[in-house]
Amino acid sequence: MAPTDPAPVVLRRRDTEGNQLALMRWGLIPHWATDAKVGATFNARSETIARAPAFRDAWQWRMRCLVPAAGFYEWKKDGAEKQPFFIRMRGGEPMAFAGLWAINRHVGDQPVESYTIATTQPNELAAELHNRMPVIIGAEDFDRWLDPEVPPNEAARLLVPCPSDWLEAFPVSKEVGNVRNDGPQLMLPLNSQ
């Protein structure tokens, strides 16, 4: 999945019962933006999510979502080389990133639904690779994150790094750095390819 690609997210709309799976564009376009390129933001820093213009309305309106994923990539610099690493749940089960979503009616003929992924300070494992990481919501907190009745100040308590022992990281092929490359082989450890 690359920025601007459509991807599935789980959300709870105020006008319907229960959770829904929706296909949305990665890169939040705020409801007020008139140009998709100007407004699209792929990640939202958890420290400023409540006040940054691109996110504050979605945050206050409780338009929270979960972004299911097999894992995420980070690149570690080793001299002049950059080695990609795949970070996933220990054991390989899926994970869910905290996200916000929005509907924009100004950038095209049809309303555009889009989302962003919340990021936070890294845990010990991720800090070896990068200075940020996605907020990973544990299954026990899925309902609390999605529930629009949960006020923003309570939901903000979930915007923290997950424990390091939830995750494992390993080097993968540098092919992951080109958006034309796709497939499960990009998630295999480098020494197994």
**Domain span at 160:** 6-192
pLDDT at position 193: 54
Asked, for residue 1, whether it belongs to a domain, the answer is no
73 burial (CB, 10 Å; 0-12 / 13-18 / 19+) is middle
Query: Which positions ≥6 away from 181 have C-beta within 8 Å?
Result: 175
Asked, for residue 66, whether it belongs to a domain, the answer is yes
| CB neighbour burial string for 55-71, b if at least 16 within 10 angstroms, e if fewer | bbebbeebbbbbbebeb
Q: CATH no. for residue 39?
A: 3.90.1680.10
Residue ranges in the chain whose pLDDT is less than 70: 38-39, 192-193
- The tens digit of pLDDT for each residue in 140-164 reads 999 999 999 999 999 999 999 999 9
pLDDT at position 39: 66
**Position of tokens 């499960």?**
184
**Position of tokens 């970070």?**
87
Asked, for residue 93, whether it belongs to a domain, the answer is yes
Q: How many domains does the chain have?
A: 1
Asked, for residue 20, whether it belongs to a domain, the answer is yes
As a whole number of angstroms, the distance between CA 185 and CA 131 comes to 26
Asked, for residue 39, whether it belongs to a domain, the answer is yes
**Nearest CA among 193, 160, 170, 142 for reference residue 46:** 160
